[in-house]
Structure 1
Amino acid sequence: MHGARSWLFSRSAVRADAIAPLSRLGGIVLTFAAAAPAAAQDNAVTSAADAFGERVGIEQSGLYTESQVRGFDLNDSGAYRIDDAYFSRAQALDDTILAGVSVRVGVNAARLPYPAPSGVVNYRLREAGPTNELRVGGGFRDFGTRVVQGDVSWRAGAFSLAGGVVWRPVWHLAQGYRGSGINGGAVVGWNVAPGHRLRVFGSVNDREYDGDYAVIPTAGAIPPNLRKLHQYSPEWARTVATTTNLGLLYRGELHGFTVDASAFRSVFSLDNADNTLISSDAQGNATATTLRTPKRDYRVSNTGEIRLGRAFDTGDFGNHVTLSLRGRDTTTELASSLAIPLGAFDLATGDPPDMPERPWSGTRGEDTVTQTTASAGYGLTWRDRIQLRLAAHRTRYHKTVLSTSGATSERLSETTHYNASAVVNLSDRAAVFGSWVTGLEESGSAPASAINREEVLPPVEAEQFELGARYALSPRLTLIGALFDVSKPSQGFRLDRTFGVVGEVRHRGFEASIAGELTPETSILAGVVAFESELTGTLVDAGLVGSHDVGVSQRVANATIVRRFGRDWSLDATVSYMGERWADTANSFKAVTTLSLGLRHGFMLGGRRADLRILGSNLLGEEGYLVASSGLLSPVPPRTVRAVLTVALGAND
């Protein structure tokens, strides 16, 4: 991936000062992407409205994840919401405060007040249940990770509390990393008065492990497979990070108007971030370099939004008018990387030479983005048959970079974007829908190796067209299919070694979902997406880069079936297929197919309700690499089994 296409024609280059944290994130995201379909269970299946992406805890179902939808990275578009409120994240919300995470595309995105090209990820906060309850659990997660966890649900009058804590005294990751972590959070609700509700949440995720690594193929060939669960970083390498998310949401009704207000703060801090880059050819002749960056608040993002809505009827027509103002202020602390060469070794049998540790030395900088968007929207319904939505969004985007070289660059842009959607119910069972969405996406700044080093790049404007249908096969089983076309400018190195817009990337394809119950005892969640990823521009025309997007599977399929036996037993099976991904202009990776089998059993233990969950992932033993759009390779997570037992303690045992 770090071949000709990667460096000359990538939507966002991997900067030296960002490789460590981004590679760490990329590695974990790739691990999740491979393990997620194999981790699907009846919680995620029964929570999902479709097969396009649903996560409950660490178990996920569907085609897409909260980082990639329809082949595009959502970290660029910022298409994240918390219970439909605008959210600019430094990192993802913690599971201890979440009821689930949904990827919204197609008909389930057509009604959103603020949609985004290529989809939206919605985090759903936890709500206290009808009874006060404490649940404690423990066991093993993937790759031998030991876990102790607890969850609480509590109500008293107008107040409620929901949250939990997870402690991993021994934490193992698919790449062979070892460490520990603890995370916890809570959501507090207050019904201030009839029609007025306030929610406040906070979460902290603190973790550390023994350094990241990633592989770069050389000579246009794929390196040999890595040893399973083997750490290739030097002994002194460490990654120590903390994520903090805080927020407030208010919803009220006043004189026929609805008022939604929210404010969020998301912080991703790095105490240490050592990342080892391994370059290897097909024979395993490898060299390694560890990049060290200093302690810093890598990213801090503050988000705010206020929405005002009014619904009224005119004859057979229902009308809904909305006005909103949303903004974010995001600061990223930049730092140059200290490269520590480790030397040559054999990737298949050896380890990088043991070189002495060196303290970081270098320069720092800062990247600041201030973005404000004012929106006006109108929705129309007619006799439960037709739903129309139109909206316009005016955005002011200001980005300033104080580079690690001491130079300052800034850019101000003001743009207007639109969205329109329609849902037509042809009958009680059938509906057709269509949408058009435009939006603004982050571009970053030019990499240090460019002539226009660390120059602020203009934000790109993305566009999506979609047309689809939904059909209820039965009252509890729904089929959805859609055609989509998503396009945006693509950035990379030009022939004069400046970095900027060089062409366009376009994904056109088809996706389908079937979700629901086949019988009262059997649930199914199955989906498929197939699209063409096409790159166009002067570099493609000149034959310097290929016409395929790197790190994207253009064929993905996933199917999960859950069979319940009586009240207390269920079995689930998931098959996931990810098609070939282009590594660079010279080759592509093989397809990856994984199988998982799981069991869930509810029973009484000492007079208290208990649940046992066992899940085996990648039971076919798939091997090889996964490739990210950045060009970095990480291993396919090997075969693993998890088993966790939880017991309920509370008023109603």
Structure 2
Amino acid sequence: MRPSVLLSLGLAVLSTPALAQRAGENAATQSSDAFGRSVGSEKTGLYNNEDVRGFNPVDAGNVRLEGLYFDQVERISSRIVDGNTIRVGAAALRYPFPAPTGLVDYNLTQPGKDASYSFNLEYSSPNSIGPGGSIEFKQPLSDTFGISGGVGFRNATRYEGGHSLYRPIGMTMAWRPQQGTEVLLFGGLFIYRSDELRPFYYPVGTEPPPKAERGLDLSQPWASRSQDLWTSGAIVKTPLLGVKLEAGLFYSAKDQHSVYADLMRGVGTDGSVANRRIIAERDNYDGSWSGEVRLVKELVGASINHRLIASVRGRSRNRDFGGGSVLTLGPSTILRPDLRAEPVWTQGAKNRDEVRQITGGMAWSMVSPQHFSLDVGISKSRYRKALDFADPALADPVTRDNPLLLNVAGSVHVARGLSLYAGYTRGQEEALVAPDIATNRSEAPPALRTSQVEAGARWAVTPKLTFIAGAFSIKKPYYNLDPALRYRQLGELTNRGVEVSLTGQLAPGLTIVGGSLFLDPTISGEAVETRLIGPRPVGQIRRRSVATIDWRMDEGHGPLSLDASVESLSSRVGNAANTLIAPPRTTFNLGARYRFITAGGTWLLRPMVLNLFNEYGWNVNGSGGFTYSNRRQITLQLVADF
């Protein structure tokens, strides 16, 4: 099987160099630790916005936008955000109102003082059905006002087969009338069309599925998803009567015109499928208004600095779901396409899910540079969730909760370059929506009370090299499928773990971003004691290790650099009974960057080989659905700054 080849051609007209962000250059120097950072299209670190210490922070509702509370419903248009930072462990110190399972903080794309215009084209072979790319700009219109934005497009053949059309657009307006004051207005749209459905494999017995051919399109051509993802809002930050006002109001929505789920149940070791079902729905909607208002007071002393924050944050979220049809296709196979005529189906009445929540809190931070820090926060939340089922035979539950949320964290410098930190956080987070295979699919449980205890050490090995080690224990209710495939609370999940990272410069021109997570997730409760389920959660790894080494010639000043990265994942449990195990896997990537000046511009050539040895592995979602990992891919990127 031939590897796919991606050719990306980018042309930019910029008043300041932007190659580092656009091509992920010297990623090790962009973050103080390896726990997580995303810049442009490249990500570094142990965690990302979908996986922090075994949990998904976006699904849990732990999201910030420019530091302010944001209830993210779905993916944000890449034309309005530059990247994100994961706030967890040592990276959460001094960050107000942290969450037990970590926070994702997005950075808006904003216009600066200088104009910039970028044009990017991408083409892939042999799997592409057409080009992709983007047009972006940052344009000051006066000394105090500017706009930025862009339009992107991609017509892709996905690595698992099937085609997708993506159209991200967005714009940001910034007004900065005086020092310390800014007003940001932004809006973005991510359009998906012809997004053909990828099947999930649910094995029977204790063996994973056979190695199906990667890239083979097994989707049904009529099961094509179509949706629009909206993000918009306004942010104001300004001095006000001796304090700083920080306020944001945001809207996030997912409008699904057509949505399908392809479930292959009873997959045997010969590739046979006992029962293939497609869940078909139309006109689902999930939208949320959210935001936060803060007053921040900074007190700078001779040896100790204080910060006081008063905050009110809230959300109003409405979701229409359900009423679809289960289309039973019967026996099938994962080894070759099995095309069927589209059954006749109708869309029934929708269920309604409403969440209203408001939280008020106070946070205090005390810092003595090079000596110690202390962070304390307390919040009170009022939460209400109401379900209105279309079926009159079902009860319409209303859940209310008024939790007291708390966080305490501190650090102390014990020796030159060495500090210790510890913290406790009690929070309230969203539970995952019931998966498509569940008999009560798409139902969302009420918000959960969660807690975390952690401690660790940060050691500046050299001024440019940092080592961090930490341990944590997270507790939250465990929701998943029982043997009857009903999604409900089955016990309590405890994730105990140890994480280590080494980030920075090993020698002039030689940098590293590396880390490992060692996790011991266990479920406790009656369902485990009665052997209804096993003691390990489905889909969670026990270990993840990542490392990227980048060498640039001439002690970091030469035109050529080489980089190599590795990701190693442990095995993971593949079913609720803990009798099915997905094997471990390790993937290697190689890349290079060559910088040169010609035609009045600064250019960067970036070739990469992803999954160098074409490792075949299995991903497992929380309900036990298997999908295979990406095959080998060769990419080439060309960027120019003028």
Q: TM over 0.5, yes or no?
A: yes
Match for residue 529 of structure 1 among 517, 520, 532: 517
Aligned residue in 1 for 2:34: 51
- Give the counterpart letter for 1:580 in structure 2: S
Match for residue 572 of structure 1 among 563, 567, 570: 563
- Structure 2 Cα separation of the partners of residues 192 and 402 of structure 1: 47
Q: Is 1:415 paired with 2:408?
A: no
Note if contact 1:137-1:645 (Cα within 8 Å) is conserved in structure 2.
Answer: no
Note if contact 2:355-2:383 (Cα within 8 Å) is conserved in structure 1.
Answer: yes
- Structure 1 Cα separation of the partners of residues 235 and 138 of structure 2: 19
C-alpha distance 353-383 of structure 1, shift in aligned 2 (>3 A): closer
- Structure 1 Cα separation of the partners of residues 440 and 221 of structure 2: 37
TM-score of the two chains, using structure 1 as the length reference: 0.88
Aligned residue in 2 for 1:74: 57
Aligned residue in 2 for 1:109: 92
How far residue 365 of structure 1 moved from its aligned partner, in angstroms, is 1.3
Q: Is 1:291 paired with 2:279?
A: yes
C-alpha distance 452-224 of structure 1, shift in aligned 2 (>3 A): closer
How far residue 389 of structure 1 moved from its aligned partner, in angstroms, is 0.9
- Structure 1 Cα separation of the partners of residues 262 and 159 of structure 2: 16
Aligned residue in 1 for 2:5: none
Q: Is 1:123 paired with 2:106?
A: yes
How far residue 178 of structure 1 moved from its aligned partner, in angstroms, is 1.0
- Structure 2 Cα separation of the partners of residues 313 and 56 of structure 1: 32
Encode CA deviations 1:541-592: one digit per residue, 9 max, x unaligned: 1222111111011100000011223443322211001111100121211112
Aligned residue in 2 for 1:98: 81
Match for residue 213 of structure 1 among 199, 211, 214: 199
Match for residue 626 of structure 1 among 602, 619, 629: 619
C-alpha distance 441-212 of structure 1, shift in aligned 2 (>3 A): same
How far residue 465 of structure 1 moved from its aligned partner, in angstroms, is 0.6
Note if contact 2:23-2:606 (Cα within 8 Å) is conserved in structure 1.
Answer: no
3-state SS of 1:258 partner: strand
- Structure 1 Cα separation of the partners of residues 381 and 125 of structure 2: 43
Note if contact 1:294-1:360 (Cα within 8 Å) is conserved in structure 2.
Answer: no
3-state SS of 1:96 partner: coil
Note if contact 1:138-1:644 (Cα within 8 Å) is conserved in structure 2.
Answer: no
Aligned ranges for residues 322-401 of structure 1 at < 5 Å? 322-348=309-335, 350-382=336-368, 384-401=370-387
How far residue 413 of structure 1 moved from its aligned partner, in angstroms, is 1.2
Q: Which runs of 5+ in 2 are unaligned?
A: 1-21
How far residue 82 of structure 1 moved from its aligned partner, in angstroms, is 1.0
Note if contact 2:26-2:550 (Cα within 8 Å) is conserved in structure 1.
Answer: no
- Structure 1 Cα separation of the partners of residues 105 and 413 of structure 2: 25
Aligned ranges for residues 391-470 of structure 1 at < 5 Å? 391-406=377-392, 407=394, 408-443=396-431, 457-470=445-458
- Structure 2 Cα separation of the partners of residues 414 and 143 of structure 1: 56
Identical residues among aligned pairs (%): 25
C-alpha distance 455-138 of structure 1, shift in aligned 2 (>3 A): closer
- Structure 2 Cα separation of the partners of residues 497 and 98 of structure 1: 38
Encode CA deviations 1:190-216: one digit per residue, 9 max, x unaligned: 112333111122111112222232111
- Structure 2 Cα separation of the partners of residues 258 and 449 of structure 1: 49
Q: Is 1:545 paired with 2:533?
A: yes
Aligned residue in 2 for 1:18: none
- Structure 2 Cα separation of the partners of residues 165 and 43 of structure 1: 27
TM-score of the two chains, using structure 2 as the length reference: 0.89
- Structure 2 Cα separation of the partners of residues 52 and 513 of structure 1: 7
- Structure 1 Cα separation of the partners of residues 621 and 434 of structure 2: 20
3-state SS of 2:527 partner: helix
Q: Is 1:481 paired with 2:458?
A: no
Encode CA deviations 1:323-365: one digit per residue, 9 max, x unaligned: 10000111111123312222323322x3224233434332211
- Give the counterpart letter for 1:343 in structure 2: G
Note if contact 1:41-1:572 (Cα within 8 Å) is conserved in structure 2.
Answer: no
Match for residue 149 of structure 1 among 117, 134, 140: 134
How far residue 258 of structure 1 moved from its aligned partner, in angstroms, is 1.1
- Structure 1 Cα separation of the partners of residues 231 and 117 of structure 2: 23
Note if contact 2:373-2:410 (Cα within 8 Å) is conserved in structure 1.
Answer: yes
3-state SS of 2:221 partner: coil
Encode CA deviations 1:468-509: one digit per residue, 9 max, x unaligned: 111111111111110111111223567999864432111111
- Structure 2 Cα separation of the partners of residues 65 and 446 of structure 1: 23
3-state SS of 2:572 partner: coil
- Give the counterpart letter for 1:184 in structure 2: I
Aligned ranges for residues 270-309 of structure 1 at < 5 Å? 270-279=256-265, 280-286=267-273, 287-297=275-285, 299-309=286-296
Q: Give the stretch that moved more between structures: 366-375 or 492-501.
A: 492-501
Encode CA deviations 1:46-98: one digit per residue, 9 max, x unaligned: 43322112222332122212011111122442111112111110113222222
Encode CA deviations 1:117-149: one digit per residue, 9 max, x unaligned: 021111111233553221212223698453222
Q: Give the stretch that moved more between structures: 626-635 or 210-219.
A: 210-219
- Structure 2 Cα separation of the partners of residues 447 and 197 of structure 1: 42
Aligned residue in 2 for 1:195: 180
Q: Give the stretch that moved more between structures: 111-120 or 377-386.
A: 377-386
How far residue 448 of structure 1 moved from its aligned partner, in angstroms, is 10
Q: CA RMSD in A?
A: 2.6
- Structure 2 Cα separation of the partners of residues 494 and 356 of structure 1: 31
- Structure 2 Cα separation of the partners of residues 47 and 370 of structure 1: 38
- Give the counterpart letter for 1:471 in structure 2: W
Q: Give the stretch that moved more between structures: 300-309 or 375-384.
A: 375-384
- Give the counterpart letter for 1:638 in structure 2: R
Q: Is 1:173 paired with 2:158?
A: yes
Q: Give the stretch that moved more between structures: 447-456 or 328-337.
A: 447-456
Q: Give the stretch that moved more between structures: 591-600 or 41-50.
A: 41-50
C-alpha distance 438-370 of structure 1, shift in aligned 2 (>3 A): same
Aligned residue in 2 for 1:591: 584
- Structure 2 Cα separation of the partners of residues 454 and 290 of structure 1: 15
3-state SS of 2:624 partner: coil
Structure with bigger helix share is: 1
C-alpha distance 508-337 of structure 1, shift in aligned 2 (>3 A): same
3-state SS of 1:400 partner: strand
Note if contact 1:409-1:455 (Cα within 8 Å) is conserved in structure 2.
Answer: no
3-state SS of 1:361 partner: coil
Note if contact 1:142-1:641 (Cα within 8 Å) is conserved in structure 2.
Answer: no
How far residue 445 of structure 1 moved from its aligned partner, in angstroms, is 7.7
3-state SS of 2:492 partner: strand
- Structure 2 Cα separation of the partners of residues 573 and 203 of structure 1: 35
- Give the counterpart letter for 2:75 in structure 1: A
Encode CA deviations 1:136-180: one digit per residue, 9 max, x unaligned: 122236984532222222333112333333211x21222212122
- Structure 2 Cα separation of the partners of residues 431 and 50 of structure 1: 14
Aligned residue in 2 for 1:636: 629
- Give the counterpart letter for 1:232 in structure 2: L
Match for residue 169 of structure 2 among 184, 208, 211: 184
Aligned ranges for residues 248-267 of structure 1 at < 5 Å? 248-267=234-253
How far residue 627 of structure 1 moved from its aligned partner, in angstroms, is 0.4
Aligned residue in 2 for 1:514: 502
Encode CA deviations 1:374-433: one digit per residue, 9 max, x unaligned: 001111223541111111110111111112424422111111010000011234411111
C-alpha distance 404-75 of structure 1, shift in aligned 2 (>3 A): farther
- Give the counterpart letter for 2:360 in structure 1: A
Q: Quick one: higher RCO (CA 8 Å, sep 6+), 1 or 2?
A: 1
